[in-house]
Structure 1
Amino acid sequence: MTRYNLSLASLMAICVLSSSPLLADENAESTAYTYGMNLNIAKVIRTEEPQPQVCEVVQVKMTYLSTQGTTETVSYLKLADVCVSNG
């Protein structure tokens, strides 16, 4: 039983430590939206969001062209599309 617990704890630690750089890179690419933030959007280039099978809150990443001509990325939370389609 102790060997099993130690193995499970080690596996969980490896998963957490290996995912930290991935989360840091993702956050560096996009700015998290805060209420009242001035986005100054000229054109939306694309939005990326997961498509879960159940109704839940998902994180969307929107890439857009600002009125100054720079490409910006912002992330925000919204209800998944399945929430709207299922009523």
Structure 2
Amino acid sequence: MRVHNLSIVSMLTINALSASPLLADEQAEVPAYRYGTQLDVARVIRIEEPAPLTCEIVRAKMTFVNTQGVTERISFLKQAEACSRE
């Protein structure tokens, strides 16, 4: 019984430690776009945004590759998709 409990605790610990870098990357601060910022966008990878049911302003996050091949992220304000359905 003791070995079984130890195995479960070990597996949970390993799982938690291996997932922590993923969570850190997901929760990392994304710089906000400011008017006049020069963006060097060669290819957009994805745009993430909240999906409220009402028309409102949301903070979207864009992940893109610049012309040097470096992946970058920036956040910006935009109208929610719900605004286009009203």
The alignment partner of 1:40 has SS state of coil
Counterparts of 1:49 and 1:26, CA distance in 2:
16
Match of 1:48 in 2: 48
Gaps of 5+ in 1: 1-21
Match of 2:67 in 1: 67
Number of equivalent positions: 61
Match of 2:20 in 1: none
Match of 1:78 in 2: 78
Cα deviation, 1:14-62, whole Å, max 9, x if unaligned, reads: xxxxxxxx9xx442xx210001111110000001001100111100000
Counterparts of 1:26 and 1:75, CA distance in 2:
12
Task: Note the C-alpha offset of 1:85.
Answer: 1.4
Identical-residue share of aligned pairs (%): 48
Looking at secondary structure, tell me which structure has more strand per residue: 1
Structure showing greater radius of gyration is 2
Code of the aligned partner of 2:46: R
Code of the aligned partner of 1:33: Y
Task: Note the C-alpha offset of 1:84.
Answer: 1.4
- Structure 1: 4+ residue segments shifted above 2 A: none
Question: Could you tell me the TM-score, scaled by structure 1's length?
Answer: 0.66
Give RMSD over aligned pairs.
Answer: 1.4
